[in-house]
Structure 1
């Protein structure tokens, strides 16, 4: 498979930002709130904070997961590598480091919601969108390692 998961470097901001911006640009229900340059800068800030893990394939960043402590704030793959199980590789790397994880996914993002549920996350609540920049309804998910008490 020749993939590698590693901590992001500052030089990964361009590629991670492009992946994130492409999702907003190419998803009909998703508002495009920021330019690609603004999205790259945002990814750079997350990388500077130590939040980002990237997935490389043949030396090219093809996906990333950003995590602030127990909160997953982003998990995106380049469209050309989706449905290969690589998102689960990134997620497992985060699960290996944490006893508990939580996140919010847009309700309209059926594939993401199914992905998280397949990977052990349970619904913890639903939001109207008032809490996110996109103003879109979302679903709160939580994952707790087995044999860990809350």
Structure 2
């Protein structure tokens, strides 16, 4: 639980650096949600010499969050977290903001394919988003 504030800081840093992403929740709410999902066992955190550097929040096949601290980007931490999730589940899905071109390219490079699109009514930010799906080829019908 000690890493929850550092995870939140990674999330908030992304929000500050992303002009198209509106701030829709109070910081306290983010901390409560991070605490809850950590207690539920959904979170895996990778550390570097300076502390938490990346985290994934996954409930079964559903990835709710994957963030890498700016100081650690480009070192394969996001790919490592995603590979771990792929080994744990034969199918993964997530929703990514349509405007988040970098994340979309990352997931595409990791073998995810577009499932469907929405107008954003199902997410807190009300931004159009895209469902991305990965299916283990060994388990595909």
TM range (shorter): over 0.9
1:3 match: none
2:27 is the counterpart of 1:36: yes
Paired with 2:29 and 2:11, the residues of 1 have a C-alpha distance of 11
Paired with 2:49 and 2:108, the residues of 1 have a C-alpha distance of 29
Task: Specify the SS of the correspondent of 1:11.
Answer: coil
Number of equivalent positions: 141
CA contact under 8 A between 1:31 and 1:134: conserved in structure 2?
yes
Paired with 1:83 and 1:134, the residues of 2 have a C-alpha distance of 27
2:65 is the counterpart of 1:99: no
1:6 match: none
- Mark the runs of 5 or more structure 2 residues left unpaired by the alignment: none
Equivalent residue for 2:46, pick from 47, 51, 55: 55
1:84 match: 75
Task: Specify the SS of the correspondent of 2:3.
Answer: helix
Superposed displacement of residue 26, structure 1: 2.1
Paired with 2:17 and 2:122, the residues of 1 have a C-alpha distance of 23
Q: CA RMSD in A?
A: 1.2
Moved over 4 A (4+): none
Deviates more, 1:59-68 or 1:120-129: 59-68
Superposed displacement of residue 38, structure 1: 2.6
Give the structure-1-normalised TM-score: 0.89
2:66 match: 75
- Mark the runs of 5 or more structure 1 residues left unpaired by the alignment: 1-9
